[in-house]
């Protein structure tokens, strides 16, 4: 097996952690009080970590995952910075130059050791619940804190920053933390890319887009904690934790309501299945597969959410028909009829008050691919694939993909069909034999 980037990152983090632990054991711990306080803060921050809704909540057990969906977040985008307090506390400790007016003497090694130990300690209850820290997260925390501490502590100890008095010092800390946040985003994107094979630029864009929100709050709190402790001592830690905890709470509620919204749309989109317009699980399968294809084609997370909603509701126009389409197979209908159903669906979606982009995609799913936006192309191709592969019985997926390739002249966008083939073969390669796709989903 070749050395993959995330293995390399883990090895680096482990080496750093081991080195720091050794150095700390050799030299002993300086300023135990501050170490204990920051350790406590990081541990408490880890304790309040939010894991988001449980995956597959409300899904039918019989509904297997479609190909390519195994590596995908099920209930919305990942929650970035789920433990902001722990992150801010560890950054602040790395930037701590003095406490209550007296200079402190803890080195970079002690910073990494304390933060790592506290993170592990705070994760113990989560491990008990079966949701322990992933190695990726620990590696990122170790490397980021190590980076900041190694940049700051030796130079500070040598007195390089003595000329940077007052506000300049605050700005210096801010700049250093912003740099570390950027590095952390790149690291996170690289890890995600290496693990899942998603294209790197959109993943990086997603990571960077999350920075102005909770990321900025973490950076600001980290810097201001270091300064506050320098001015008034350890009192600053609880005082400054409150605003950040409030931000965390707001984010958590935001995430919760988004998850609820998603559940509602997914559930109500099944009205077509219940009415017998479409086969069971069709909307969910099209949504999952569309997201995989969208990922592969480099869509970012907001676009992916719109795509998911549109895919879930793409058949909702059939509810307005007086007589249902046989088996709900719209791909086999004549083009004007397809377009009419799409327009009906768009009208329904527009009424629901979801993002107007979703209605636009539903409306335009039946147009020739040259006139469609990318998301509508994806929905059309994936919908046709799901219908054709189901209708084809065993060997259906292969035939379906072949038919789609033949249709690339007008109906189906070639780049999307190719992407679909890639996604299916990747899923087959990963050994995911989900229901109905035992044939491996057409390895090209």
Residues that bind other proteins in the complex, under the rule CB under 8 A: 57-59, 165-167, 169-171, 174, 213-214, 216-217, 220-221, 223-224, 227-228, 230-233, 235-236, 239-240, 242-244, 246-247, 249-251, 253-254, 257-258, 260-261, 263-268, 270-271, 274-276, 319-320, 322-324, 348, 351-354
Minimum CB–partner distance for residue 256 and other proteins (Å): 8
Residue whose CB is less far from other proteins, 166 or 393 = 166
Contact 224, 205 (CB under 8 A): no
Minimum CB–partner distance for residue 123 and other proteins (Å): 23
Residue whose CB is less far from other proteins, 155 or 249 = 249
Residue 6 has a CB neighbour count (10 Å cut-off) of 17
Minimum CB–partner distance for residue 242 and other proteins (Å): 5
Residue whose CB is less far from other proteins, 197 or 324 = 324
Residue 176 has a CB neighbour count (10 Å cut-off) of 20
Cα separation of the two ends of the chain: 24
Q: What is the DSSP string of 94-142?
A: HT--EETTEE----HHHHHHHHHHHHHHHHHHHHHTT-PPPHHHHHHHH
| Sign (positive or negative) of CA dihedral 220, 222, 223, 224 | positive
Q: What's the CA gap between 235 and 231, in Å, rounded?
A: 10
Tokens of 435: 């229901």
Minimum CB–partner distance for residue 23 and other proteins (Å): 30
Minimum CB–partner distance for residue 378 and other proteins (Å): 23
Minimum CB–partner distance for residue 156 and other proteins (Å): 15
Residue whose CB is less far from other proteins, 259 or 420 = 259
Residue whose CB is less far from other proteins, 85 or 191 = 85
CB-based contacts of 373, cutoff 8 Å, min separation 6: 360, 361, 364
Going by DSSP bridges, is the β-strand pair 102-103/98-99 parallel, antiparallel, or unpaired?
Answer: antiparallel
Residue whose CB is less far from other proteins, 58 or 201 = 58
């Amino acid at each position: 097996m070749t050395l993959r980037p995330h293995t390399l990152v883990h090895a680096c983090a482990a080496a750093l952690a081991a080195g720091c632990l050794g150095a700390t054991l050799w030299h002993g711990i300086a300023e135990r009080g501050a170490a204990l306080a920051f350790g406590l803060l990081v541990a408490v921050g880890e304790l309040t970590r939010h894991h988001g809704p449980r995956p597959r909540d409300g899904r039918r057990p019989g509904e297997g995952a479609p190909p390519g969906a195994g590596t995908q977040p099920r209930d919305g985008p990942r929650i970035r910075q789920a433990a902001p307090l722990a992150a801010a506390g560890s950054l602040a400790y790395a930037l701590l130059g003095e406490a209550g007016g007296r200079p402190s003497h803890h080195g970079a090694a002690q910073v990494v050791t304390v933060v790592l130990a506290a993170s592990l300690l705070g994760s113990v209850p989560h491990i008990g619940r079966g949701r322990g820290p992933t190695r990726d997260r620990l590696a990122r925390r170790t490397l980021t804190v190590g980076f900041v501490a190694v940049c700051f502590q030796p130079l500070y100890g040598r007195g390089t920053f003595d000329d940077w008095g007052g506000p300049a010092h605050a700005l210096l800390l801010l700049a250093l933390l912003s740099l570390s946040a950027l590095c952390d985003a790149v690291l996170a994107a690289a890890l995600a890319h290496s693990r899942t094979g998603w294209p790197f630029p959109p993943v990086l864009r997603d990571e960077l887009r999350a920075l102005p929100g909770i990321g900025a709050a973490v950076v600001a709190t980290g810097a201001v904690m270091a300064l506050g402790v320098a001015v008034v001592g350890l009192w600053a830690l609880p005082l400054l934790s409150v605003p950040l905890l409030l931000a965390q709470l707001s984010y958590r509620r935001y995430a919760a309501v988004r998850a609820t919204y998603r559940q509602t749309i997914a559930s109500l989109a099944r009205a077509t299945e219940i009415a017998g317009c479409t086969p069971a699980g069709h909307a969910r399968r099209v949504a999952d597969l569309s997201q995989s294809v969208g990922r592969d084609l480099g869509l970012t997370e907001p676009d992916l959410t719109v795509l998911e909603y549109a895919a879930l509701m793409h058949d909702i126009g059939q509810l307005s028909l007086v007589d249902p389409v046989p088996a709900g197979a719209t791909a086999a209908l004549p083009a004007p009829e397809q377009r009419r159903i799409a327009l009906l669906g768009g009208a329904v979606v527009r009424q629901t008050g979801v993002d107007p982009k979703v209605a636009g995609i539903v409306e335009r799913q039946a147009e020739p691919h040259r006139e469609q936006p990318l998301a509508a192309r994806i929905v059309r191709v994936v919908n046709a694939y799901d219908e054709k592969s189901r209708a084809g019985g065993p060997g259906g997926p292969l035939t379906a993909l072949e038919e789609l390739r033949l249709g690339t002249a007008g109906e189906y966008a070639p780049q999307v069909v190719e992407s679909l083939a890639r996604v299916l073969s990747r899923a087959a390669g990963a050994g995911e034999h989900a229901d109905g796709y035992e044939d491996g989903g057409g390895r090209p």
